[in-house]
Chains A and B, each alone.
Chain A
Amino acid sequence: MSNILEIKNLVVSYGGIEAVKGISIDVPEGEIVTLIGANGAGKSTTLKTIAGIVKPKTASIIYKGHEILGKSPDAIVSSGITLVPEGRRVFANLTVKENLRVGAYLRKDSLDKDFEFVFELFPRLKEREWQLAGTLSGGEQQMLAVGRALMSRPNLIMMDEPSLGLAPLVVKSIFDIIKTINSQGITVLLVEQNANMALQVANTAYVLETGTVSMTGIGRELLSDERIKEAYLGKTRK
Chain B
Amino acid sequence: MNWITQNLPYIFAGISVGGQYALIAIGYTMVYGILRLINFAHGDIFMVAGVIMVYASATMPMYVSIPLVILTTVVIGVMIEKVAYKPLRSAPRMSIMISAIGVSYLLQNLALYITGGLSQRYPTIPAISKTVTFLGTTTKVVTLVTPVLTILLVTMLVLLIKYTKIGIAMRAVSKDFETSQLMGIRINSVISMTFLIGSFLAAVGSFLYFTNYTGVTPTAGAMPGLKAFVAAVFGGIGSIPGAVVGAFIIGICENIIKGVGWTTFSDAFTFALLIIILVFKPTGLFGEKSTDKV
A residues apposed to B, CB below 8 Å: 51-53, 72-74, 77-78, 82-83, 85, 89, 91-94, 98, 101-103, 105-106, 148, 152
Contact = CB atoms under 8 A, between A and B. Distances in A.
Contacts of B214: none
A101 B179 contact: no
Interface stretch (B22-30, B54-62, B93-101, B168-176): B168-176
A230 B33 CA distance: 49
Interface string B181-193: 1111110000000
A52 B182 CA distance: 8
A103 B181 CA distance: 10
B168 A102 contact: yes
Contacts of B179: 85, 89, 91
Nearest to A103: B183
A51 B179 CA distance: 11
A77 B182 CA distance: 7
Task: Indicate the member of B169, B174, B176 with the most A CB atoms within 10 Å.
Answer: B176
A105 B171 contact: no
Interface of B: 165, 168-169, 171-172, 174-176, 178-186, 291
Task: Indicate the member of B178, B180, B184, B291 with the most A CB atoms within 10 Å.
Answer: B184
B181 A105 contact: no
B47 to A, nearest CB: 33
Given A91-B175, A91-B176, A93-B175, A53 B169 contact: no
Nearest to B186: A74
Contacts of A98: 168, 171
A93 B182 contact: no
A-B CB proximity, top 9 nearest: A77-B184, A106-B184, A74-B184, A89-B179, A73-B181, A105-B184, A105-B183, A91-B172, A102-B183
A28 B176 CA distance: 32
15 contacts: A52-B181, A74-B186, A77-B182, A82-B182, A85-B182, A89-B179, A91-B172, A93-B175, A94-B175, A98-B168, A98-B171, A101-B168, A102-B180, A102-B183, A103-B183
B185 A92 contact: no
Nearest to A158: B182
Nearest to A83: B182
B181 A102 contact: no
Contacts of B174: 93
A89 B176 contact: yes
Secondary structure type dominating chain B contacts: helix
Contact of A74 (B165, B172, B181, B291): B181
Contacts of B185: 74, 102, 105
Contacts of B184: 73-74, 77-78, 105-106, 152
Nearest to A84: B182
Nearest to B165: A105
B33 to A, nearest CB: 10
Contacts of B186: 72, 74
Nearest to A101: B168
B117 to A, nearest CB: 46
Contacts of B165: 101, 105
Contact of A77 (B169, B172, B176, B183): B183
A83 B181 CA distance: 10
A103 B179 CA distance: 10
A94 B172 contact: yes
B285 to A, nearest CB: 18
A92 B175 contact: yes
Nearest to B177: A53
Contact of A148 (B178, B181, B183): B183
A88 to B, nearest CB: 9
Given A53-B182, A91-B175, A93-B171, 11 more contacts: A73-B182, A74-B186, A85-B182, A91-B179, A92-B291, A93-B174, A98-B171, A101-B168, A105-B165, A105-B184, A106-B184
Contacts of B182: 51, 53, 73, 77, 82-83, 85
Task: Indicate the member of B174, B179, B185, B186 with the most A CB atoms within 10 Å.
Answer: B179
B241 to A, nearest CB: 14
A167 B179 CA distance: 24
Contacts of A103: 183
B172 A102 contact: yes
Nearest to A92: B175
A147 B68 CA distance: 46
Task: Indicate the member of A83, A103, A105, A152 with the most B CB atoms within 10 Å.
Answer: A105
Contacts of B169: 102, 105
